[in-house]
A = this chain, B = another copy of it.
Amino acid sequence: MAELRRDPIVGRWVIVDTDHPSSPEGFEYEQYIPKGAGVCPFCYGNESQTPPEIECFRQPGTAPNTSGWQVRVVSNKFPALQVEGELDRRGLGIYDLSNGIGAHEVLVESPYHMKDISDLLNKEIEDVVRMSCRRSNDLSKDKRFKYIMIFRNYGSAAGASLEHPHTQIVALPMIPKNVAEEISGAKNYFDYRERCIFFFFFMQETQEKDRIIFENKYFISFCPFVSRFPFELWIMPKKHSGYYCQMSEEEIPALASILKDTIARIKKVFVNLSYNYIIHTSPINGDGDVDYYHWHIEFMPKLTRVAGFEWGTGFYIDPTSPELAAQYLKAIKD
């Protein structure tokens, strides 16, 4: 019989098929092979094809918006939201609306069109992490913004419209629904137990061990007990902190290393995989300290399609238990 599992933060139930689980060979997923051809605005030499750079790590002596950079941040050419203007929130009968104020930046992760994060050197990944923290801190200074959403779409099935690997950073004038739910669930738990729920996650996962994939001094990666998707993976810092962008300088190499390990492993189990990952962090410009929330990364491989059942219920059907997924992922050797 399948197992129903309940997420203790947001109360979402997931149906885990423990009877007839799918092995990696059982998934017919859309494979992603970047074409690499054509002119790419994110490649060396094409810097003039993007909006001007906002921030950049580049070789000393090179001019802005020329080659010689390692990580480059530009405005999205087709931004979902724009920086200039007023929010001007207003009513229209029973509806509410406002102007589309925000920021939408693109962080080009390296000059290499064909290199995913797992193909970069640790030092190069550290720069990606460092830059996303810097942009997040910078955007947080704008008091109109309430949340900085950092995410990554890799591959066509994950909704990436440009091949050249990049991270997106969106500053929002309101706390998004999914974040508000997670924060409120975590806060309720804290009010009840006076300790962050993620501490208990960490305790239970490290005791049971069967969902942990990898750990280093500062981070663990594991398949969460209430995975929505097969082979869903979370990366969580061991040290309590509500904010991704407040990561300490010594944690950055550890995050770079576990990111590389995680992506390399899942791409060995599923070749040419598309995936999304999302940095879950606390809202900004609010109360200040957050002892009830713990930032982390949620990694979602695109192996299945979301269909009517999931759209209607908000429940998910996971054909591979996280315990089994962890076994496959742990078995991968370098």
Contact = CB atoms under 8 A, between A and B. Distances in A.
Interface string A74-86: 0000101110010
Which one of A80, A81, A153, A306 has the greatest number of beta carbons of chain B within 10 Å?
A80
A307 B11 contact: no
B278 A312 contact: yes
B314 A178 contact: yes
A133 interface: no
B2 A276 contact: no
Given A15-B80, A80-B317, A176-B313, A100 B1 contact: yes
Contacts of A314: 176-179, 181
A15 B173 CA distance: 12
B81 A153 contact: no
Contacts of A11: 177
A44 interface: no
Interface stretch (A89-97, A105-113, A233-241): A89-97
A55 to B, nearest CB: 21
A3 B159 CA distance: 22
B306 A159 contact: yes
Task: Place the interface of chain A in its size category.
Answer: 35 or more
Nearest to A201: B94
A313 to B, nearest CB: 3
Contact of A226 (B95, B153, B157, B306): B95
Contact of A5 (B97, B153, B305): B97
Contacts of A20: 78
Interface string A1-39: 111111010111101010010000000000000000000
B278 A85 contact: no
Nearest to A149: B312
A312 to B, nearest CB: 4
Contacts of A277: 308
A158 interface: yes
A98 interface: yes
B152 A99 contact: no
Contacts of A177: 10-13, 313-315
A2 B197 contact: no
B99 A307 contact: no
A57 interface: no
Nearest to A300: B311
Interface of A: 1-6, 8, 10-13, 15, 17, 20, 78, 80-82, 85, 92-101, 147, 149, 151-153, 156-160, 168, 170, 172-174, 176-179, 181, 197, 200-201, 204, 208, 225-226, 276-280, 300, 304-309, 311-315, 317
10 contacts: A2-B80, A2-B82, A4-B98, A92-B225, A94-B197, A168-B308, A170-B313, A172-B315, A181-B314, A276-B311
